[in-house]
């Protein structure tokens, strides 16, 4: 599944700097939500360090002793994909495995990682290079692959060399076509630049977009991307906020709701640079105190990193000036995160919800109210309130409905800073917020706490939330989780609008 061309929209142009290398800028003043880039992938394939998956649709292999294998080459392929001549496996590596006789070996019992499949996406990139040499030379070959930095991690470099480069040149008999140097360059290009996506059925995979892939990074991105599995995994990049002519375009290489130290570690180890964006350089993370701890020496202060981008920085209280070492802060955070991971690992149910609430209370006196760990727990609770046994939406008391609404508002207060405008995370939390607001309004009216006009005003507020949710999610692939939610939100919006119109005629 490759494409011969990519089609950047005429709202971007390529620039170069010594710091960023190649990067993209807005070519003109661009309103929020405008389309900036539309591009088909150079190659797609399974993630590395993963389990056995179908090489057609990336569905994980069933947990049985019998694996579904391609009848032509013997590599993993589900029955449905084996009948599909357009399957990427059939179109690409199957023929190479048939010619070479390279065999797929069953994993040992209890093993969950299949190193043999790590070669698939690099091989697909190499085959696309042969099929589209011009696009390779113009778009892919110049992409960063950070060979010198990757060589410093000797264990990973050696594993890639053996499992990918030497395997393709040896058992796959491709030595005459692809040099070891070229293969390792491709591995680096994918490691640094590939985007994660999901198939229409929700299975994870990686895609390489040579043009979109040169976007610079910021921990407060100004673009939003959507990938469309129903259109050959085409990517569309849109302006998250209004953009000025010549403004650099950014997306985030990290999880936005991680703290600064966690984001910096990810970027140093996986992308080989230190981020110096406005958020990372600000100890308060744009006044959210997203990584701050409460001071143990005074009642009002918070400990913030003195130099957030430095590995061994001190943490100082913004009120009394008390200082704490980075080692002490890291120890505290790791201990709390270990407890949080234990809760996340619990089966979805009332015990998991109650444990998450317990941890929020336990560390209330230690973490800033908007700390990233507290925010993560709130997001977890938002997803559980209304969905788990004993806490289903129709069972929630007014107090618990208020609780869910407050959790949504707190998470949105952070997202409004870090992901303003066109943000899927914001949209999903807007949808979650509208539900308790509607139920509270109706229960208040039934209990005569609200009159008709007040009920109508509360419902109009919920309608406004749904409208923004739909406006954001309308750009998602209809088969994706976000696209499905968009249709659900549209239906809720129609029903709520009819209810308000009915109220309006009654009040008149």
* Residue 480, CA distances (Å) to 16, 71, 194 in order: 35, 31, 20
Domain match, 81 and 145 both: yes
Q: In this structure, what token pair is assigned to residue 413?
A: 């207060």
Domain match, 392 and 476 both: no
User: Which residues of the chain, if any, have pLDDT below 70?
Assistant: 1-10, 63-66, 504-508
Q: Chain-centre distance of CA 151, in angstroms?
A: 27
Kindly state whether residue 354 falls inside one of the protein's structural domains: yes
Residue 242, domain CATH = 2.170.270.10
Adjacent-strand bridge partners of 317? 303
Domain match, 367 and 426 both: no
Determine contact, residues 407/382, Cβ cutoff 8 Å.
Answer: yes
Last residue of a domain, one of 377, 412, 447: 412
Determine contact, residues 473/427, Cβ cutoff 8 Å.
Answer: yes
Domain match, 54 and 36 both: no
Per-residue DSSP letter, 170: T
Domain match, 393 and 470 both: no
**Long-range CB contact pairs, 61-67, < 8 A, 24+:** 67/106
Domain match, 100 and 59 both: yes
Last residue of a domain, one of 389, 412, 435: 412
What local confidence, expressed as pLDDT, does residue 8 receive? Answer: 47
Residue indicated by tokens 């208040």: 444
**If DSSP codes are grouped into helix, strand and coil, which group holds residue 431?**
helix
Determine contact, residues 260/304, Cβ cutoff 8 Å.
Answer: no
Residue indicated by tokens 């921990």: 219
Phi, psi of 468 (to 5 degrees): -65, -40
The helix or strand, by DSSP H or E, that contains position 152, with its residue range, turns out to be: helix 147-152
Domain match, 84 and 193 both: yes
Domain match, 287 and 396 both: yes
CA 299, CA 480: separation in Å to the nearest integer?
Answer: 47
CA 87, CA 56: separation in Å to the nearest integer?
Answer: 5
Q: In this structure, what token pair is assigned to residue 232?
A: 């050959």
Q: What b/e sequence results for 228-241 when a residue is b if at least 16 CB atoms lie within 10 Å of its CB, and e otherwise?
A: bbeeebbbbbbbbb
**If DSSP codes are grouped into helix, strand and coil, which group holds residue 425?**
helix
CA 213, CA 234: separation in Å to the nearest integer?
Answer: 13
Kindly state whether residue 453 falls inside one of the protein's structural domains: yes
Kindly state whether residue 381 falls inside one of the protein's structural domains: yes
What local confidence, expressed as pLDDT, does residue 21 receive? Answer: 86
Total count of domains within the chain = 4
Domain match, 283 and 374 both: yes
Kindly state whether residue 151 falls inside one of the protein's structural domains: yes
Write out pLDDT tens, residues 261-281. Answer: 999 999 999 899 999 999 999
Kindly state whether residue 12 falls inside one of the protein's structural domains: yes
For residue 93, which of 200, 11, 178 has the smallest C-alpha distance? Answer: 178
pTM, 2 dp: 0.91
* Residue 466, CA distances (Å) to 431, 436, 454, 481, 490 in order: 6, 13, 19, 17, 8
Write out pLDDT tens, residues 54-65. Answer: 999 999 987 655
For residue 213, which of 467, 13, 23, 442 has the smallest C-alpha distance? Answer: 23
Residue 445, domain CATH = 1.20.58
Domain match, 217 and 239 both: yes
CA 303, CA 292: separation in Å to the nearest integer?
Answer: 5
List Cβ neighbours of 304 (8 Å cut-off, separation of 6 or more): 283, 284, 289, 291, 292, 315, 316, 318
Domain match, 113 and 186 both: yes
What local confidence, expressed as pLDDT, does residue 507 receive? Answer: 59
Q: Is beta strand 250-251 parallel, antiparallel or unpaired with respect to 216-217?
A: parallel
Kindly state whether residue 272 falls inside one of the protein's structural domains: no
Domain match, 446 and 476 both: yes
C-alpha dihedral sign at 184, 187, 188, 189? positive
Kindly state whether residue 331 falls inside one of the protein's structural domains: yes
Kindly state whether residue 35 falls inside one of the protein's structural domains: yes
Domain range holding 31? 7-41+209-251
What local confidence, expressed as pLDDT, does residue 293 receive? Answer: 97
Strands (E), 229-314: 234-239, 250-251, 293-294, 302-305
Q: In this structure, what token pair is assigned to residue 164?
A: 């990918």
* Residue 444, CA distances (Å) to 74, 383, 430, 448 in order: 64, 24, 21, 6
């Amino acid at each position: 599944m490759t494409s011969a061309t990519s089609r950047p929209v005429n709202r971007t142009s390529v620039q170069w700097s010594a710091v960023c290398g190649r990067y993209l800028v807005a070519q003109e003043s661009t309103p929020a939500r405008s389309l900036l880039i539309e591009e088909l992938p150079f190659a797609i394939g399974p993630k590395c360090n993963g389990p056995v998956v179908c090489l057609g649709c990336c569905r994980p292999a069933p947990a049985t002793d019998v694996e579904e294998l391609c009848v032509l080459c013997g590599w993993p392929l589900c029955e449905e994909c084996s009948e599909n001549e357009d399957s990427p496996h059939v179109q690409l590596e199957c023929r190479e495995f048939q010619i070479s006789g390279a065999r797929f070996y069953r994993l040992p019992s209890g093993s969950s990682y299949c190193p043999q499949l790590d070669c698939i996406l690099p091989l697909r990139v190499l085959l696309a290079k042969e099929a589209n040499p011009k696009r390779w030379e113009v778009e892919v070959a110049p992409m960063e692959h950070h060979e010198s930095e990757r060589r410093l991690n000797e264990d990973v470099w050696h594993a890639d060399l053996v499992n990918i480069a030497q395997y393709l040149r040896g058992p796959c008999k491709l030595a005459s076509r692809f040099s070891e140097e070229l293969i390792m360059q491709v591995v680096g290009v994918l490691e640094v630049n590939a985007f994660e996506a999901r198939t229409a059925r929700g299975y994870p995979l990686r895609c390489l977009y040579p043009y979109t892939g040169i976007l610079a990074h910021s921990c407060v991105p100004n673009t939003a991307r959507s990938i469309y599995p129903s259109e050959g995994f085409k990517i569309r990049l849109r302006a998250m906020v209004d953009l000025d002519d010549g403004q650099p375009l950014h997306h985030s290489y990290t999880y936005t709701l991680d703290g600064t130290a966690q984001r910096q570690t990810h970027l140093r180890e996986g992308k080989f640079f230190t981020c110096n964006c406005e958020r990372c350089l600000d100890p308060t993370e744009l006044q959210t105190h997203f990584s701050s701890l409460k001071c143990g020496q005074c009642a009002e202060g918070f400990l913030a990193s003195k130099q957030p981008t430095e590995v061994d920085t001190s943490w100082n209280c913004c009120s009394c000036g008390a200082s704490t070492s980075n080692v002490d802060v890291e120890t505290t955070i790791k201990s709390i995160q270990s407890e949080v991971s234990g809760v996340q690992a619990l089966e979805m149910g009332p015990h998991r919800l109650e444990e998450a609430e317990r941890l929020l209370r336990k560390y209330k006196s230690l973490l800033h109210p908007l700390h990233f760990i507290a925010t993560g727990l709130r997001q977890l609770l938002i997803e559980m309130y209304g969905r788990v046994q004993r806490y289903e939406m129709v069972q929630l008391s007014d107090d618990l409905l208020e609780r869910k609404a407050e959790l949504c508002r707190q998470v949105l207060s952070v997202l409004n800073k870090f992901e303003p405008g066109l943000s899927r995370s914001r949209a999903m939390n807007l949808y979650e917020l509208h539900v308790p607001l509607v139920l509270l309004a109706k229960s208040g009216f039934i209990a005569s706490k609200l009159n008709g006009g007040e009920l109508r005003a509360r419902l109009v507020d919920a309608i406004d939330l749904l409208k923004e949710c739909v406006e954001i999610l309308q750009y998602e692939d209809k088969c994706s989780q976000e696209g499905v939610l968009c249709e659900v939100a549209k239906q809720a919006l129609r029903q709520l609008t009819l209810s308000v119109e009915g109220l309006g005629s009654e009040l008149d």
